[in-house]
Chain A
Amino acid sequence: MTEHLASFPYLSCMLLSPVVGLFILLFLKEHQRLAIRMVSLVAAGISFGLSIYTFVSYDKALGGLQFVEKYQWVKAFGITYFVGVEGMNAPLLLLTGIVIFTGVLTMWELQERVKEYFIFQLALVTGVFGVFMSYDMFFFFLFYEIAVVPMYILILIWGSTRKIYAAMKLTLYLMAGSGLIIPGILLLYSSSGLFTFNMLQLHAVQFSPWVQKLTFVLMYLGFGVLAGVWPFHTWSPVGHVAAPTAVSMLHAGVLMKLGSFAILRVAMYLCPQGFQYWAQFMGLLAATGIVYGVFVGLAQTDLKYVIGYSSVSHMGIVGLGLATGTVDGLNGAVFQMFAHGVMTALFFSAVGYIYDRTHTRDIHELGGFSKIMPVASAFFITAALCGAGVPGMASFWAELLVLIAAVKVFPIRGLFAIASLVIGALFALRVVQNTFFNEPNPKFTHFEDVSPFLGLPRMILIGFLIFFGLFPQVMVSMIKSSIVPFIQGM
């Protein structure tokens, strides 16, 4: 892959902006709430702006790795700070920017321990940005762990509904995943004989087949835990439910993509033969997850559980796309990571608004919210329709690409995935009907609708969903510019 050095350290700025914000927050006092919020918003806003900038100004014709920054860190171990942007991570950086920016706005009304909350949230997002832009396995893993740890605290302190159980479960699960990843990384590091963590250099090495097979499955399972691969998904609905709104947004919207992105970027990239060996297995788990997620979601009554299981199903689509190993499938998978991230963020942000007021998420207790808060309802309904795969929204295209590619590679699994779309529609509409239609529950009629300011983050999310729904080529050509060489290199 060709590397084009950056004229200005855009990526480091994107990465450091939350860190700087975090340090400024340390010096503020708890009661200076407006200042705390503004600092967080500006820090997130800078990253968001830079992520849009890199997405827009990435030169697709030139291709390769752009905005590259490389600084040697520990020479003895071959560790370098090596970041860059290409077609497949630009959408995910953009996604992270969108979700953190809207997440800060969504949590504007937070009253409890505001300062600490934003500190941890900014720490979390630093890790996420770092993972998506790193091309050095050491930093990749370092950022990966940075992203996971604040999650524990965020859920434990600001969460709800069995938060201690959920936080513990999530952390143990992800640590178990890391326990599989580290041996994988070390195996590649030691068997390459190059003493480098640089992924591009490791890619050039032809590892022996058994190393590839072993490493791939270790990494697939390890990262798969975070990606919500069936049957290692049960931490995710529980975690979504317990987490506060913006953390759910980041968690389902971005964190789960870390796992699937890492499978693509590290496992498939470095162990192509391992991937060929395990592809059928990946396809099987993914298709099972797709069908399983919708059926379990159908039986849930807590709004956040419903969304949690829809995530399991939608992340199954990502997994299925990855398992095909074709250009269409991978395009669709990366597109789906982006689309699902924005969509879930919208979902949680809409649910969060309602929950903050009603303090219930039971769909039997809610009802008639279209009458009480039409705008907030419109946000949720849009997300639900997007989840049901209605065209005109970004996720339709992603699913289309994945499903067409999947039928070619695994016809039966592909057909099951297509068939589950009916249940997906039933599932989404059931929630919409129970929550937003019918007669309003008199207990809740006094609540006010979303103010324009609080509506803003949701509008941004919807705007991105519809923009990429109408102009999918913007996204697909971007992703394709790096997927085509990626497949050729495999």
Chain B
Amino acid sequence: MGFNIGSVDPLFLACFAIVALPALAFGTIMIFTWRRDNLSLGISLTCSTIPLILAWWLFFTVKGATLAEPIILQVNWMVSDAVVVPFGFHLDPVSLLMLVIVATISWLIQIYSIGYMEGDPGFARYYADLSLFGMAMLSLVSASGMVQLFISWELVGLASYLLIGFWYEKFSASEAGKKAFVVTRFGDIGFYMGLVFLLYFMKDISLFGLGIADINNIGLTQKLTEAQITLCALLIFCGVAGKSAQFPIHVWLPDAMEGPTPVSALLHSATMVAAGVYLMTRLFPFFAASATAMAVVLAISTITLILSSTIGMVARDIKQVWAYSTISQLGFMAMGLAAAGLAHGTLFAGYYHLTTHAAFKALLFLCAGVFIHHFGTNDFFVMSKDGGRKLMIPMVTVTIAALALAGIFPFSGFFSKELVLAQLWHLDNKLWVGLGLFGAFLTAYYTFRVIFVLLFPRPDDHPAWQTYYVREEVAGHGHGAHGHEEEEAHGSHGHGGHGDHHGVPWVMAFPLIVLAGFTLVLGFMQTRIEKFLLGESHPHELNYLLLVLAVGCALGGIGMAWLDWGRARANWSGFLSKFPMLENFFIQKWYMDHFWRWFLNTVIYGTFSRIFTYNDRRVVDGGVDAVALGTIGSGRLLSFIQTAFLQLNLLFMVLVLAGVGIYLLMGR
């Protein structure tokens, strides 16, 4: 470790502080202050405010870093022989923007959690875990080499594991944490193999510590054959799919909602799950070098979009709906990047959608958190009944965010989704844009299903409740299981029940307002952000046909939601109930959970583990025991010779001597 502080670039120190301070907070809280809530809170907040300021400072002051010529500051972390791992920072517009997003949202969540987690017995541990996450995510975003990125990637997974299973006494929470870790690990192994293969293929050329810039150059200079790039890109995409919850390893994300709601907002919607898409953006030139890989990515992300949107239509836990909407929007981002890769576009569309999504999705979850905190339930039908719309700030902000998610002008989601669709439009095969539009329609529908239910509560004798109760029984084994758990874990610590309303505390309202502000403003910042990212902004020729189609789909979805859920006579059954088979298929989440459960129980535990264990007990160990028993047995057998009968011994001696004599005589 050549740390010589005197000669180090101040820029390096600033970046180092951004990463190291949250790590310091984690260590300090975990070792020293874990019994003292307020002190821990103070440490954690200090160690997230300074990185916030530094990140914005870098964002505005670092000049001259472009996509083609990033600023790379690094020192050697580990030097073995062929394996060299640098530790450092890769500053370019992509990483600077993401640094700001992550630092800002982390900070807002820390503020919000003061109210949300108040009085929880694990308060200090919660802030320690959030700090760990902050450190890992900021390091992931700014890493200069792939190994450092991978390390941060795993640490992000660790923080996610700890936070999902935060209320570990609950079986469902500890199970969900384990599932998240193992499923994403499944993808990460692909990532790991991808990196190892890259090194393997580059045998003769020393790839300095697998630097990000070097990998992107591979795509441009074509040092590898296309097949090799495709293999590596697809393996790395496994990691992307794991973290960004793409089909078929998306199953961990809905379960991850077992964690506290601010955690869902920070990790499982705005920042951590976007890390996968961020990695694709980061390595965009490399990915774009393989058309085959891009086509596969496009197909997978489209399946993800449709799958999650359809499941979102039937979920009745508000966090589940937002979770599936997250998966579908991640699908959108990946589609945007893949389409750009295929049609020689830029990374702007997908990345811009990531930016806007981070703001409005965090907002959606934080609003949901306010409702959950207030009403002690996750079921938005019950929230509606208990007077959800009386909470002014969250209700207004959740509607803003929902409009953005549905893609309505002038909210930010409209602009970014429009760009992604435009990228898809450029492809020869119009199927993709069609599916994208269909996804946009479904998104608007399920989003406004929630909004309309919350906005227009029904009296208790309304026929709609009939449908609700009947369907609760039907779907009891589906989402019902998740229903009221957060309340149990959480409500018992003396949070205000229904009786003692005291509005929304300012620490929880403030982040909502800030994020709502971003949601309103980011759309109009499009050209500026594009200029910042790409160094130039291309004037977009407006494709009126696509514009009309997209807005039509969004409005159509909202209109459909109004007919099914909003208007006074709507009986809350949804158009899907006309297709019971299909609806049940969606309620069962396309049977993906069943598939993985079967895979784990039957293939891993039932087959491999059992056979190997049997083999170990019976064959390997059994063989050894058999040798031991054989030794004892043969000893017993031979001991019969030692009978102390002189006659027998003499006879034996004579026989042996006779045998030897005969042998000697015959031999001569």
Contacts and interface: CB of A to CB of B under 8 A. Distances in A.
Contacts of B456: none
B81 A295 contact: no
Interface string B602-632: 0011001110110010001100100010000
A401 B616 contact: no
A234 B610 CA distance: 16
Contacts of A403: 192, 196
A233 B621 CA distance: 9
A164 B79 CA distance: 47
Contact of B182 (A295, A371, A407, A429): A429
A430 B608 contact: no
Most buried by B among A391, A408, A411, A477: A391
B185 A418 contact: no
A331 B605 contact: no
Most buried by B among A385, A414, A419, A425: A425
Contacts of A404: 82-83, 196, 199
Interface in A423-440: 423, 425-426, 429-430, 433, 436-440
A438 B189 contact: no
A391 B154 contact: yes
A438 B165 CA distance: 10
A477 B196 contact: no
A186 interface: no
A397 B609 contact: no
Given A385-B158, A392-B155, A295 B83 contact: no
B168 A421 contact: no
Contacts of A422: 182, 185-186, 189
A234 B169 contact: no
Contact of A436 (B81, B168, B175, B620): B168
A396 interface: yes
B155 A437 contact: no
Contacts of B173: 437
Nearest to A385: B158
A326 B81 contact: yes
A160 interface: no
Contact of B77 (A392, A401, A473): A473
Given A327-B82, A368-B169, A436-B168, 8 more contacts: A299-B609, A331-B81, A391-B151, A392-B151, A407-B196, A421-B185, A425-B181, A437-B174
B168 A480 contact: no
Contacts of B1: 471, 473-474
Contacts of A471: 1
A437 B612 CA distance: 28
Contacts of A477: 79
Given A299-B610, A404-B199, A437-B169, A472 B83 contact: no
Contact of A439 (B77, B151, B169, B613): B169
28 contacts: A169-B628, A172-B628, A173-B624, A234-B620, A234-B624, A298-B609, A299-B605, A328-B81, A368-B169, A390-B155, A390-B158, A392-B155, A400-B85, A400-B147, A407-B199, A408-B199, A408-B200, A411-B200, A421-B189, A422-B185, A425-B182, A429-B161, A429-B181, A438-B168, A438-B171, A473-B76, A473-B77, A476-B78
A300 B80 CA distance: 36
B490 interface: no
Contacts of B495: none
A295 B612 contact: yes
Contacts of A476: 78-80
A296 interface: yes
Given A172-B628, A439-B169, A328 B82 contact: yes
A418 B192 contact: yes
B178 interface: yes
Interface in A284-303: 292, 295-296, 298-300
Interface in A357-391: 368, 370-371, 378, 385, 390-391
Given A438-B169, A471-B1, A418 B196 contact: yes
